[in-house]
Structure 1
Amino acid sequence: MLSRLRHRLLAVASAAGLTGALLSFGAAPPADAAVPATIPLKITNNSARGDAVHIYNLGTSLTTGQQGWADENGTFHAWPAGGNPPTPAPDASIPGPAAGQTKTIRIPKLSGRIYFSYGQKLDFRLTTGGLVQPAVQNPSDPNRNILFNWSEYTLNDGGLWLNSTQVDMFSAPYTVGVQRADGGVTSAGQLKAGGYRGVFDALRAQPGWGGLIQTRPDGTVLRALAPLYGVETGALPASVMDDYINRVWQKYASTTLTVTPFGDRPDTKYFGRVSGNVMNFTNTSGAVVTSFQKPDASSVFGCHRLLDAPNDQVRGPISRTLCAGFNRSTLLSNPNQPDPSAANFYRDPVTNHYARIIHERMADGKAYAFAFDDVGNHESLVHDGNPAEARLTLAPLD
């Protein structure tokens, strides 16, 4: 099972993106450049932790379409058939660098995840449908008490897209980077000094949101679940966004919401008005092009269900914009969406406080705190059409 962000990265990297925020994903490499079958990934351990690090490179081969894993030389191995109940997956772990050390491996053309865990290997299983990813919102998940995290990437003929993600959880910190052919380096995902502990402190201080934090039985903080899983597990009430959602629906019963989803197509606009419990969107000709039932917190936090975003040119881009507006609480303050200014985000008392808290503690303000956090280019992502080297740097837990 792949995360919502992973599905999106693969679709965007292969289909040139849906909105202006994602147009760069489809940028072609220079005419004289050719992305090789594998590129180096330099992993630097600045965590200052003494426990062993285990690395995994898992995903879907863009050459064969198979699910599997890559070893440290970048050789792809397809998963064997799984079972029901799930059977143990082959050990795909790669020994990571010790504290203060660097290790370089090679990554092939995959759309996948680079996992890292501290002190203990992750437990992966295979079902008849493929790999079972860790799901630590489930108390019985075998990885529940392991400190781990992952980055998501796509490497294809168009280049490398590599992100720092908190779509599913906020945990062991890291930064990502890409070295360009000219030697320059672009990086993303760096927390401010004290930002890691600061996220947990701020969640505890926000009434009702501290339940997202998961700890080991000994009290060691492991992670904070994203609010979608907070709603699913009862750590957040299902009604947590109702007040804001109701106010939005009330406002746009008598006001028009204008959505301009494509940054490079400012003349493509859709107009939303609420009638009954439904927000109908029309195009410039006045024809209804898509409609949305009033969403709930799960739909807002997950950018799914009642805010589903298919990979098309109409409903998907509108839904992405709505999802970003709900999570950032900009739909009431600005009837023209998406709102471009981060200064306007998370200002309402009813908002995605998890996303607010993470963004406030990122050095550049950018993060992937919900699935469509890239609307307006507020995501923690690096991309290059002709990458010389990818980078993953494990950061201290302070």
Structure 2
Amino acid sequence: MRYLTVLTALLGAVSAAPSLIARAKSPFSVAEPGNAKDIIITANNTLNGTFHSSTTTIVNKNAIHSRALGGSLPIKLVNSFSGNQVNAYISGLDSDNRVVFIAADGSLVYPSSGGSAVPVAINSNIAIPLPAKGNSISITVPIVITSARIYFSEGNLQFFMVKIPNGDGLVQPSPTNLSDPSAGINWGFVELSYTSGLAVYANISYVDFVGMILSMTLSVKDGSGTQVTKGLSSTAVSQICNGLVQQGNSDGYPWSSLCVANSAGTPIRALSPNDYNVINSAGFQNYWSAYVDQVWNQYTNNPLTINTQSVGNVNCQVSGGTLNCSGDNRGYAKPTAGDIWGCNSGPFAIQGGDNAVHAAVVPRLCAAFVRSTLLIAGGNVQPGVGASQYYTVNPTNHYSRLVHSLEVDGRGYAFPYDDVNPDGENASGTLASGAPDTLTVFVGAPPS
């Protein structure tokens, strides 16, 4: 930990001269929060909604009930965070696909861009302040809400609205923009859908990053018992960042830069390699090259079996530089590092005309690369080996390795196809029920 102590002291010494912070030799990427002009609008940080009004509209809770808008989902927020004031924000799309926030008093806030093509800050009172550590607050979601997130932050997050071609878009905090207005804040979210059938789907995912530590339980009315996803331990961010520093010192790749620190030098989040690729696409450009060549050589003369777990076993082999699988409508070229990190580009991009075999092979093939299981004993069948053999050789996805090593109950995706496992294993962090009672989210530490 000496490197962090030295870094913190250095940054403290130059706090009166912000221009010097960028010169500090931090092992981490350093957040330098900006303002609205520094926002980068992408598909990943914009929630597209329909247009509702040229001005922000607020519907108080009495009007909601009288209009019978449907829905009544209790959400309990438990503060287990050892830090400063925590705020929650509940946002999503209503049944008319309009961007909406659930305020602390139960009212609905419909923010508007006012037709501005430049992001406009939401100044309405959308924050839900959590009580002191050890206490909880309950909020009722009174309407159907989809594509929703429950954000949590140590301090105030900033949200913006912007005009989009077919309506109004919510611009959310971006983990990959180091100049985002919320870049220096410790934050995170759980994903939520509360459907028209009053079913609940809630998910903790580390596919993009690890930030504010969150855990969930879902009690249900059908007698099937309470569902639990404990997620990560309270010190996971610092442990992941320490592990990434060690890995970078070992192999020379910029693993430590996946960690984002605030101006004091404190790590506040760890990005996945795919998210870090947005910041620095050259950092891991050649990371997988030798391994990919070895895989292609291995399966030029030997067959690779993909257990599709849906349409049977598929035999694959490399010919003419392309991996071809029986019954598949097209083959697979060698993937790049970016293809492997994201599992949705190059040979792993699934197109509209692809058949069922292709749609089943892609996730299993990419998962095998991410976990580096294609060249180990038993790797000629995918998925075949168990989780204990994932990430055991180099190169591999060390972010995923560290995340899974610190999960309290082994649940929570660390890359897009983390649900690819031998039959009987489940790494999903999803809670779901058609008869939900109360969704409880723990902030800062998992329940004991």
TM-score after normalising by structure 1: 0.81
Find out whether 1:110 has 2:136 as its counterpart. no
Contact kept in structure 1, 2:112 and 2:161, CA below 8 Å = no
Unaligned runs of 5+ in 1: 8-35
Distance 1:268 1:72 in 2: 51
Partner of 1:213: 259
The percent identity for this pair of structures is 27
Find out whether 1:126 has 2:167 as its counterpart. no
Contact kept in structure 2, 1:330 and 1:339, CA below 8 Å = no
Q: Deviations over 1:207-226 (max 9, x none)?
A: 23111111111112111111
Contact kept in structure 1, 2:199 and 2:432, CA below 8 Å = yes
Amino acid paired to 2:443? L
Find out whether 1:145 has 2:184 as its counterpart. yes
Distance 2:297 2:106 in 1: 54
Give the 3 Å change call, closer, same or farther, for CA 132–279 of structure 1 in structure 2. farther
Contact kept in structure 2, 1:190 and 1:363, CA below 8 Å = yes
Partner of 2:122: 89
SS in 2 for 1:293: coil
Give the 3 Å change call, closer, same or farther, for CA 191–316 of structure 1 in structure 2. same
**What is the deviation of 1:70?**
3.1
Distance 1:193 1:87 in 2: 34
Contact kept in structure 2, 1:59 and 1:67, CA below 8 Å = yes
Partner of 1:279: 323
Find out whether 1:177 has 2:217 as its counterpart. yes
Distance 2:314 2:192 in 1: 32
Q: Out of 288, 298, 304, which is 1:257 matched to?
A: 304
SS in 1 for 2:359: helix
Q: Deviations over 1:245-301 (max 9, x none)?
A: 222222222222222233xx3x53333222233222222xxxx42322211111111
Amino acid paired to 1:294? K
Amino acid paired to 1:362? E
Amino acid paired to 2:238? R
Q: Deviations over 1:157-185 (max 9, x none)?
A: 27322121111111121112211223832
Query: What is the total number of aligned residue pairs between the two structures?
Result: 359
Contact kept in structure 2, 1:231 and 1:297, CA below 8 Å = no
Partner of 1:201: 242
Give the 3 Å change call, closer, same or farther, for CA 68–194 of structure 1 in structure 2. closer
Contact kept in structure 1, 2:237 and 2:270, CA below 8 Å = no
Find out whether 1:354 has 2:394 as its counterpart. no
Contact kept in structure 1, 2:236 and 2:406, CA below 8 Å = yes
Distance 1:118 1:194 in 2: 15
Distance 1:74 1:253 in 2: 61
Q: Deviations over 1:296-349 (max 9, x none)?
A: 111111111111245874433321112211111122231221235111111111
Query: Which deviates more from structure 2 when the two are superposed, residues 168-177 or residues 104-113?
Result: 104-113
TM-score after normalising by structure 2: 0.73
Contact kept in structure 2, 1:186 and 1:382, CA below 8 Å = yes
Unaligned runs of 5+ in 2: 1-41, 49-69
Contact kept in structure 1, 2:233 and 2:445, CA below 8 Å = no
Give the 3 Å change call, closer, same or farther, for CA 75–261 of structure 1 in structure 2. farther
SS in 1 for 2:76: strand
Distance 2:331 2:441 in 1: 41
Give the 3 Å change call, closer, same or farther, for CA 84–344 of structure 1 in structure 2. same
SS in 2 for 1:145: coil
**What is the deviation of 1:90?**
5.2
Find out whether 1:135 has 2:174 as its counterpart. yes
**What is the deviation of 1:388?**
0.7
Contact kept in structure 1, 2:73 and 2:437, CA below 8 Å = yes
**What is the deviation of 1:60?**
2.9
Decide which structure has the larger Cα Rg and report it: 2
Q: Out of 354, 359, 374, which is 1:331 matched to?
A: 374
SS in 1 for 2:329: strand
**Using CA pairs below 8 Å that are at least 6 residues apart, which structure has the higher relative contact order?**
1
Give the 3 Å change call, closer, same or farther, for CA 249–132 of structure 1 in structure 2. farther
SS in 1 for 2:331: strand
Q: Deviations over 1:16-57 (max 9, x none)?
A: xxxxxxxxxxxxxxxxxxxx72311111000122x2222112
Q: Out of 370, 378, 389, which is 2:427 matched to?
A: 378
SS in 2 for 1:238: coil
Report 1:220-369 matches (<5 A): 220-234=266-280, 236-262=283-309, 265=310, 267-283=311-327, 288-306=328-346, 307-309=348-350, 313-333=356-376, 334-339=379-384, 341-369=386-414
Contact kept in structure 1, 2:74 and 2:437, CA below 8 Å = yes
Partner of 2:436: 387
**What is the deviation of 1:154?**
2.1
Contact kept in structure 2, 1:204 and 1:210, CA below 8 Å = yes
Query: Which deviates more from structure 2 when the two are superposed, residues 239-248 or residues 63-72?
Result: 63-72
**What is the deviation of 1:359?**
0.2
Q: Deviations over 1:100-123 (max 9, x none)?
A: 210111234322211111122333
Distance 2:104 2:358 in 1: 41
